[in-house]
Chain A
Amino acid sequence: MGKKREADDGSNQFDRFLEEWSRRDFLRGMGGALAFSAFMAGGMELLEACGGGGGAQTTSENAVKGGHLVEGAISDISNINPIFINDVPSSTVGYLVYQRLVTVDRTGNLLPDLASEVPKVDSDQITYKVKLRSGVKWSDGQPLTADDVVYTYQLMYDPKFKAVTSRFRSQLEQHLASVTSPDAQTIVFKTTTPYAPFVITFMNLGILPKHVWEKLQPAEVNSSPLNQVPEVVSGAMIPVKWDKGGQYQMKRNDLFYKGKANLDSYIFKVVPDAVQIANQLKTGEIDVGQPDLSQWDSLANVANLDRVSYVAPSFDYYIQNLDPAKTPKAAIFSDPDVRKALLTALDRKKVAEKVYFGQAAPADSSVSGAQWVHVTPKAQYAYDQAKAEKMLDAAGWTKGADGTRAKNGMKMEWELRTNVGNKVRETLITVLADQWKAIGANVTTKPVQFPQLVTQLSQTREFEMILLGISEGLDPDTTQLWSSKSIGSGALNGAAYKNTKVDELLEQGVQTLDRDKRKQVYAQIQQILMEDLPAPLVTYPKAVWGVSKRVRNWNVGPWNGGSPRPWFKDVYVTDGK
């Protein structure tokens, strides 16, 4: 594909981008399924940036070798061991250090990494034979073989390593039947049932060096310092030093199988907040970073800086609690016409303009535009306050003397929550509340600390309405969000939405390995969800970057934001310093 575009004014980009999106299916050759690796910015505003289009800086100049690059981010790494990685900074740094079997490019196409080609499933629909690239070495000179791959997966799911607290354990136990290596260059994966997301979810994990990790007892694996500063790596960079809370320094790995990176050094610097990222981009203290949306305009005419923005595969949405056993307010939301009216009452264009400072688009489906399964369903809800009021009248919710609607003695009022620390969302809930007040719903707002919010959504389900952001994963499977199996116990169907047709389709979706057939399944799901609206999507926020003019080939895009960054070795700085 390789669209060559100047990193020019983001807003023009966006309009063109939007048109192109609706006209083309850009995901050709996608050989597998993608999984949700969603990160909600708990307390920090991290836009997981991925997707196609917008702002690629490809240049045909001769790359300058040497020098360093400083990337600014608002939180520090936590654990970069691929079997534990659970947050964006860790996956950003972790990606540069450990290679994986497959990776993706900025438009979401699967690329072979350690695998010599993108694995295809056998005719039995459950066996994957993966051929390892030959000649790959660890940074200590040892060869990377199938043994390393098998060992990594065993750490994650094999019962003898139960003490290792990998977060993939129960999923792998469910989907992975076996992983073996018939010879040093081949690995055979067998899934328990045909599972479309398998390649993109589970072959997308960094591989650990067996000869290092087998020396540790399983329980020691959880707390080893190698989880933060590994010594033996396979990626483009080797860790040098981690100043906790300050910066993470890496240097070039000369044994990287794709060839030596242009940069000598890469530093991941922790910056207090996204506004400071904008400041430091201006002063040059950092070379690249994702500034706060409110600073976008102020970065426009900075001499040493380019701006990049693109629609990220993410969305902000509000979840209505439909379970009458958990809240009496479910009576308000149980009527589908009421749900439609509530969405119609929102002026999402204005919200995108004012609350996101223009760096978002109103949502039009139940997945973001960056997903290859995205369609624009028939049911749409453009802003129409008068229509919304009529719908509510028709549904039997009459306005009382104080302006609040009521029906059968119940007043139309509820509490809308979101997490503390995300400025945009904290403002957004007050705006939504205000717009609903205008049609007679007395909505109060309350930001809640992230841990409590997650507990309320996924465990106790004691809430009335919650606004959240989801950063989508590469696979379009949304079982965790919409399946009736995903209610409570840590899953995300906080609305307690139950639709047997959707459940069936979700099952079908993960078992259908044919791409076109899959797309049809997910198209149906989107149509149904847009009719039912259990948790309507509000906006598709864009990801914004500031990139210093001295940096070249910083090809972030919809699916290559924080990670993965398969183009990283080609990044260089023009002054070589």
Chain B
Amino acid sequence: MLAKFILRRALSAIPVVVGVTVITFLLMHSTAGSYLPGLALNPNLTAKDVTLLRSQLGLDQPLWIQYLDWTGLAWLMQHAGLGWLLVGAHDITPGMLEGSFGHSMVDGTAVSSQIFDRLPNTLLLTVTAILLGIVFSIPLGIMGALRHGSRLDHFLTTVSVGGVAVPQFWLGLLLILVFSVKFHEWGLPFLPSSGIVTPYTGGDLIDRIAHLVMPATVLSFVYLAIWSRYTRSSMVEVLSQDYVRTARAKGMAERRVTYVHALRNAVIPLVTLVGLELPGLVGGGLVVEAVFGWPGIGLLAFQRALAYDYTMVLGVVTFASILVVIGNLLADTLYAAFDPRIRLA
């Protein structure tokens, strides 16, 4: 039964998320030394300042205490009378029990407000890229399959494979150079080179689309390459199936055979392929976000990791992992819904 399957999967996901938090926590703390998050080289900041600030942020407590504090377990322990176990602790906060991921150590902003403000940007980008990928890989796949083995087929394969043979940052910067800088130079209408909207004068749909075009296109190449090949080989296989031959033998128009019957069946694996990409929705666009100044969650984690903003990075990575786990769950469920054998495994 599907429900039981989902429940089992969900339960086994919890230790995974916990494990993720531990791994991230350890990685972040392992090289910081006595660094103060967000510190710019400011000679006004004396040694006493640094020590005081670190203490106020709780960074001088032993690592395991800091972890327990962040999860809220330390607070629970204190209130359950087990506080004496927390040797070296001071200023225990409710941590995750407050319902949020705490506050940034760099600027004091609430981690959850940063995540919820920036996550939609990333989702907009990656979902658009996926849609673009689907929209273009189906016709490419069909064309390749119909002219299977021909020069056109090889050309299309090369194009789709070539699109992912270049580094994303390079492709992005090239597009900016051409469609933004050069187009402006040549007096043509030009695409904006960074951000989500034009400041002050922008904000309408056209403006947003104009900002979305280049980054989403760059990101979609990855999907395009894989999916067009899959669609193509899937179409090839389906077209040689008996039921297709039967349809042809019964006199059905070739067009109908291709687009109605064969295509429908060839697209099924595409569904699972798209499902496979769901987990990657959150972090996958970092390079594109960096090139195009797209204020997404990948860029946030990257910048804050370099600034040793422990709470922010922990919060973002944990949240992203939860999303990945949910994404996997969805993908597995879809798969199981289609294939009864999986449910019983």
A–B contact with Cβ pairs below 8 Å: the answer is yes
A70/B200 contact (C-beta < 8 A), A37-B44, A167-B53, A169-B49 known: yes
Q: Are B40 and A87 interface neighbours, CB within 8 A?
A: yes
The docked-state distance in angstroms from the alpha carbon of A84 to that of B42 is 13
B108-116, B145-153, B256-264, B320-328: which lies at the interface: B108-116
Q: Which residue of B lies closest to A479 (CB)?
A: B43
A246/B196 contact (C-beta < 8 A), A39-B40, A223-B103 known: yes
Q: Are A269 and B110 interface neighbours, CB within 8 A?
A: no
Q: How far does the Cβ of B57 sit from chain A's closest Cβ, in whole Å? A: 7
Q: Are B306 and A43 interface neighbours, CB within 8 A?
A: yes
A249/B44 contact (C-beta < 8 A), A167-B49, A244-B118, A451-B307 known: no
For B199, give its contact among A269, A449, A480, A492 (CB under 8 Å).
A269
Chain A residues within an 8 Å CB radius of B144? none
- A168: interface (CB < 8 Å): yes
Q: Are B176 and A492 interface neighbours, CB within 8 A?
A: no
Q: Are B107 and A78 interface neighbours, CB within 8 A?
A: yes
- B194: interface (CB < 8 Å): yes
Q: How far does the Cβ of B94 sit from chain A's closest Cβ, in whole Å? A: 13
For A272, give its contact among B103, B291, B296 (CB under 8 Å).
B291
A108-116, A182-190, A209-217, A282-290: which lies at the interface: A282-290
Q: Are B200 and A244 interface neighbours, CB within 8 A?
A: no
The docked-state distance in angstroms from the alpha carbon of A70 to that of B200 is 9
- B245: interface (CB < 8 Å): no
For B40, give its contact among A86, A165, A265, A490 (CB under 8 Å).
A86
Give the size range of A's interface with the partner.
Answer: 35 or more
A452-460, A513-521, A541-549: which lies at the interface: A452-460
- A294: interface (CB < 8 Å): no
Q: How far does the Cβ of B286 sit from chain A's closest Cβ, in whole Å? A: 12
A246/B44 contact (C-beta < 8 A), A169-B49, A455-B35 known: no
Q: Which of B47, B184, B194, B308 has the most CB atoms of chain A within a 10 A radius of its CB?
A: B194
Overall SS of chain B's interface: loop
Q: How far does the Cβ of B27 sit from chain A's closest Cβ, in whole Å? A: 14
The docked-state distance in angstroms from the alpha carbon of A272 to that of B195 is 9
- A447: interface (CB < 8 Å): no
A470/B41 contact (C-beta < 8 A), A245-B300, A283-B180, A283-B190 known: yes
The docked-state distance in angstroms from the alpha carbon of A222 to that of B301 is 21
Annotate A66-92 by CB proximity to B: 1 below 8 A, 0 otherwise. Answer: 001010000000110000101100000
Chain B residues within an 8 Å CB radius of A452? 31, 33, 35
Chain B residues within an 8 Å CB radius of A245? 118, 295-296, 299-300
A267/B199 contact (C-beta < 8 A), A37-B44, A455-B35, A490-B47 known: yes
List B residues 1-60 near A (Cβ within 8 Å). 31-35, 38-53, 56-57
The docked-state distance in angstroms from the alpha carbon of A450 to that of B32 is 11
The docked-state distance in angstroms from the alpha carbon of A455 to that of B54 is 13
- B106: interface (CB < 8 Å): yes
Q: Which chain B residues have a beta carbon within 8 Å of chain A's beta carbons? A: 31-35, 38-53, 56-57, 103, 106-110, 113-114, 117-118, 176-177, 180-181, 184-185, 190, 192-201, 290-293, 295-296, 299-300, 306-308
23 A-B pairs with C-beta separation under 8 A: A38-B41, A78-B106, A86-B39, A165-B57, A169-B52, A201-B44, A227-B109, A243-B117, A243-B295, A244-B114, A246-B197, A267-B200, A270-B195, A272-B290, A276-B193, A279-B180, A283-B193, A284-B184, A451-B32, A451-B39, A451-B306, A459-B34, A480-B43
